[in-house]
Amino acid sequence: MDAGTPAPVRFLPKWDNVLLAFADRSRVLPEQYRKTVIRMNGDVAQTFLIDGFVAGTWSVTKGRVATEPFASLSRAAGLKEEAGRLAAFLSD
């Protein structure tokens, strides 16, 4: 894969090891969002990645995956489609 190819959208569950296992989480979690994602009690939110970086949180409400981006998502190609696939997976 070309280094310039953006990483696909990914949804991470609570306490995913990507956010727990690394001493330097800035490789995937921008510092300005750390306290929103990793809370005081150590709880780690469900997040989604855009181009390999945490870009927001997600939840399931009435069978739908709801996303809460941290900022405007100009490069969110595939977010709705991936959310739909996740909702279908969770409904099985």
Do residues 47 and 54 lie in contact, with contact meaning Cβ atoms separated by under 8 Å?
A: yes
Look at residue 2 and tell me if it is in a domain: no
Look at residue 23 and tell me if it is in a domain: yes
Looking at residue 32, its pLDDT comes to 92
Q: Is 63 left (phi over 0), alpha (psi -120 to 50) or beta?
A: left
Look at residue 26 and tell me if it is in a domain: yes
Domain that holds residue 55: 10-91
Domain count, the chain: 1
Per-residue tens of pLDDT for the chain, all 92 residues: 567 777 889 999 999 888 887 667 778 899 899 999 988 887 899 999 998 899 999 999 988 999 999 988 875 678 999 999 999 999 87
Look at residue 1 and tell me if it is in a domain: no
Q: pTM here?
A: 0.85
Instruction: Decide the pairing of beta strands 53-61 and 47-50.
Output: antiparallel
Look at residue 66 and tell me if it is in a domain: yes
Do residues 71 and 48 lie in contact, with contact meaning Cβ atoms separated by under 8 Å?
A: no
